[in-house]
Amino acid sequence: MSSKLQTPIDYLKGVGPNRADLLRSELGIQTYQDLINLFPNRYLDRTKYYKINELQRNSAEVQIIGNITGFKEITQKRGKRLVGTFQDETGRIELVWFRGQKWIRDSIKPNTPYVIFGKVNWFNGVFSMPHPEFELLSVHEQNLSSTMQAVYPSTEKLSNKGVTNKVMNKIMQSLFLETNGRFAETLPDFIHSELKLLPKSDALFNVHFPKNQELLSRAEFRLKFEELFYLQLQLILKNLIHKSKIKGVPFNSVGPYFNSFYNDHLPFELTNAQKRVLKEIRHDLGSNAQMNRLLQGDVGSGKTIVAFMSMLMALDNGFQACLMAPTAILSVQHFQGLSELSNKLNISIKLLTGSSNTSQRREIHKSLENGDLQILIGTHALLEDKVKFKNLGLAIIDEQHRFGVAQRSKLWKKGPSSTLSNDSEIQIVPPHVLVMTATPIPRTLAMSVYGDLDISIIDELPPGRQAIKTVHRYDSNRLKVMRFMRDEIEKGRQIYIVYPLIQESEHMDYKDLMDGYESIVREFPQPKYQISIVHGKMKPVDKEFEMQRFVKGETQIMVATTVIEVGVNVPNASVMIIESAERFGLSQLHQLRGRVGRGAEQSFCILMTSFKLSQDSKVRLETMTKTSDGFEIAEVDLRLRGPGDIMGTQQSGVLNLKIADVIKDKDILYSARFYAKQVLTSDPSLTNTENKTILNTYRELSKYKNIWNYIS
């Protein structure tokens, strides 16, 4: 990569200080390098020249060769418009300008061949082209610009200040002329020959000035592959360095806690997926490197039991374990479930949340430090400085996308300390880390965002679980739905009814919820029916009271906003009704559906909507009724929303890619990861001669490219 590419953009011919400031503030272009990586959004196919008698009455953009034979000014309500007559040997059209008329008259040479380009309108029996692009045929033929014209990303401010697409094309031409269109190669010969890639210089030229469709496709493939290859190389390298440099506490044995639980107290037979994942975790814990593993599994797939058995491995080796959840509700649920299992093995386990009182905290702090407390469950409260472990060996983080990097690193520092061999320096040994998520992450995204973590997937549900029947019903079917609810309550079942909650329209949402609640109370009157209601405007203590009534079976219907999305486990609830389902995202619908189907009975999810649905809403509803596979749902969600929305602000920066798209280019992504793995498996330090290009490029990228700063 030439050092010339680090030249500030101000020095490029045709830019100057004012345009440079605009390019910096509007498009983030600081250097020649940034400009060469400003890839076009789309292309105008300039391969065809139309005759005027071939024009159609559509809104296509066309180019025509001909002469401007004259002008006339026409007065209109506001000011004047300039109309030029343009003709070729087959006919004539009108060119129309509403502004810049003096400049047009002064600069156009009548009766001289021009190429015009623009959108054609049909009005009063005449074709016209408003504000066409125009260029002398003699200049057009000499231009570096190709027959397919690139259209670059732009902003309103750039357009208003005269930095049009034509100007951007000119600036790009200057860059190619100044660098002679020669750019350092970034990929080794063996990848070039195996994939038949264009050289870097040819690829860059053909992506900015393509001669035809085929060369454009090859150029895009080459540049997308390169971008994804170096992203994957960075992630895999990070993982390798992590394993070789960051030592973990070795768990050498599987002892009495694990074996006793597995042989005598396991509440159900483990699925093959759970066994496979435990084996992967066991392998990590037994090596001398720190475990850094992501555990994905759908709602109800049995991640918690895997987490508990991993904790038992820590206890068997004399270490403590902790589990951190994003909300108090979820941490209480984990605590209740794990206490039941721990009590059978005489394991000491405690809960620490923001609402734990002072005496509870004091007792927890003391028993943690002296090692009497073996397992601690809690929320962000675990990260407080006062919380000190005697020897934390395993930290489990649930729904990790809710925690920032700084928060996770605080947990690292709570690991046991060890003295280095020269006895002079105390070193913290980080605990092993297991990150869990019930939000399935599409494979392409997992490879790009969590590519530095090892990934385990639980992809089967425990036996005996019946698939939830999901149906879509319109508001006009409401009476039938009410009848169905009565039948289910007669069978002793419980029902959730969820209303959307969208911050911008909170007042309207609250009204919808209360209107819905009142109509449910009319249909299901007391004392025969009892109804709970939970929403964001209630005090936490009242919310908890209503939730507990439902959990204990004292109420048959729970009317709520999405506060119940995570955390309530009621095996007797068999029906989930989602009102205005078109206003929910796919992952939210899937999470809500996961609140039912937790018992042995057949469960149902009913998606209620109005008749007026957008195309995206229809796709979401069809996906929900067609499949319950969280990974399939996540793939559709990714296509609909794009990676940024799915990852949230904390993680979306990692996908700040210049030309590749992890959704559309997933085949290229798989290929890039395959080659990156192949290179690093045979040559982890990139010192072999054939990998010299990769090492040089990687060093350059690490210096100049922002992407590396984002990765988890």
596 with 454, same domain: the answer is: no
At 426, which CATH number?
3.40.50.300
- In three-state form (DSSP H/G/I as H, E/B as E, the rest C), the secondary structure along 128-191 is EEECCEEEEHHHHHHCCCCCEEEECCCCHHHHHCCCCHHHHHHHHHHHHHHCCCCCCCCCCHHH
> For residue 206, is it within any domain?
no
* pLDDT exceeds cutoff 80 at 594: yes
> For residue 23, is it within any domain?
no
Question: Bridge partners of 85?
Answer: 70, 94
> For residue 506, is it within any domain?
yes
Is residue 59 within 8 Å of 123, Cβ to Cβ? no
> Residues of the chain with pLDDT > 70: what percent?
89
Structural domain count, the chain: 3
Is residue 84 within 8 Å of 112, Cβ to Cβ? no
347 with 450, same domain: the answer is: yes
* pLDDT exceeds cutoff 80 at 663: no
E-strand ranges in 24-120 read 42-45, 61-75, 80-88, 91-97, 113-119
Q: Provide φ and ψ at 691, rounded to 5°.
A: -105, 10
* Strand pairing report for 573-578 and 557-560: unpaired
Q: Provide φ and ψ at 291, rounded to 5°.
A: -70, 140
Burial of 102 (0-12, 13-18, 19+ CB in 10 A): exposed
272 with 362, same domain: the answer is: yes
Q: Could you tell me the two tokens for 550?
A: 């439902």
Confidence of residue 516 (pLDDT cuts 50, 70, 90): confident
Say which amino acid occupies 391. N
> For residue 237, is it within any domain?
no
Given the structure tokens 């499949």, which residue do they identify? 627
Q: What is the pLDDT of residues 568-582, one digit of tens each?
A: 678 888 999 999 999
Contacts with 602 (C-beta within 8 Å, 6 or more apart), sequence order: 466, 469, 574
Q: How far apart are CA 11 and CA 596, in angstroms?
A: 64
Contacts with 11 (C-beta within 8 Å, 6 or more apart), sequence order: none
Whole-number pLDDT of residue 404: 59
Contacts with 110 (C-beta within 8 Å, 6 or more apart), sequence order: 67, 68, 69, 70
280 with 413, same domain: the answer is: yes
To the question of pTM greater than 0.85 for the whole model, the response is: no
Q: Which helix (H) or strand (E) holds 619?
A: helix 615-626
* pLDDT exceeds cutoff 80 at 98: yes
Is residue 605 within 8 Å of 470, Cβ to Cβ? yes
* Strand pairing report for 454-458 and 320-324: unpaired
Whole-number pLDDT of residue 505: 54
Is residue 387 within 8 Å of 368, Cβ to Cβ? yes
**Domain closes at, from 627, 655, 682:** 627
Q: Tell me which residue range forms the domain holding 84.
A: 47-145
Q: Could you tell me the two tokens for 347?
A: 């394991």
Render 268-324 in DSSP notation, one character per residue: SPPPHHHHHHHHHHHHHHHSSBPPEEEEEE-TTS-HHHHHHHHHHHHHHTT-EEEEE
Closest CA to 672 of 237, 228, 238: 228
> For residue 6, is it within any domain?
no
Q: How far apart are CA 462 and CA 650, in angstroms?
A: 33
Across the range 483-488, mean pLDDT stands at: 95
363 with 503, same domain: the answer is: no
476 with 449, same domain: the answer is: no
**Domain closes at, from 627, 649, 666:** 627
Closest CA to 110 of 87, 90, 93: 87
> For residue 109, is it within any domain?
yes
Q: Could you tell me the two tokens for 466?
A: 């019946």
487 with 422, same domain: the answer is: no
* pLDDT exceeds cutoff 60 at 402: no
438 with 487, same domain: the answer is: no
Q: For residue 501, what are the CA distances in angstroms to 510, 548, 616?
A: 8, 22, 19
Sign of CA dihedral 100, 103, 107, 110: positive
At 107, which CATH number?
2.40.50.140
DSSP state for residue 400 in the 8-state scheme? G
- 59 SS3 class: coil
Burial of 644 (0-12, 13-18, 19+ CB in 10 A): middle
420 with 524, same domain: the answer is: no
603 with 510, same domain: the answer is: yes
Q: Which of 68-82, 127-141, 694-708 has the lowest mean pLDDT?
A: 694-708
Task: Give the residue with greater pLDDT, 292 vs 504.
Answer: 292
Question: Bridge partners of 378?
Answer: 324, 352
Q: Which of 377-391, 396-410, 570-584 has the lowest mean pLDDT?
A: 396-410
* pLDDT exceeds cutoff 60 at 710: no
Confidence of residue 647 (pLDDT cuts 50, 70, 90): very low
Is residue 576 within 8 Å of 604, Cβ to Cβ? yes
Q: What is the pLDDT of residues 194-226, one digit of tens each?
A: 999 999 999 999 999 988 778 888 999 999 999
Across the range 21-39, mean pLDDT stands at: 92
> For residue 515, is it within any domain?
yes
Closest CA to 276 of 301, 249, 243: 301
Across the range 181-199, mean pLDDT stands at: 93
Q: Could you tell me the two tokens for 371?
A: 């090692």
Average per-residue pLDDT for the chain = 85
Count CB-CB contacts under 10 A for residue 25: 12
Question: Bridge partners of 95?
Answer: 84, 129
Q: Provide φ and ψ at 494, rounded to 5°.
A: -120, 160
Q: How far apart are CA 95 and CA 85, in angstroms?
A: 6
**Domain closes at, from 110, 127, 145:** 145
> For residue 207, is it within any domain?
no
* pLDDT exceeds cutoff 70 at 161: yes
Q: How far apart are CA 155 and CA 141, in angstroms?
A: 30
Q: Which helix (H) or strand (E) holds 296?
A: strand 292-297
476 with 413, same domain: the answer is: no
Q: For residue 115, what are the CA distances in angstroms to 51, 105, 128, 171, 406?
A: 12, 17, 15, 21, 58
283 with 426, same domain: the answer is: yes
Q: How far apart are CA 307 and CA 277, in angstroms?
A: 10
Q: Which helix (H) or strand (E) holds 392?
A: strand 392-398
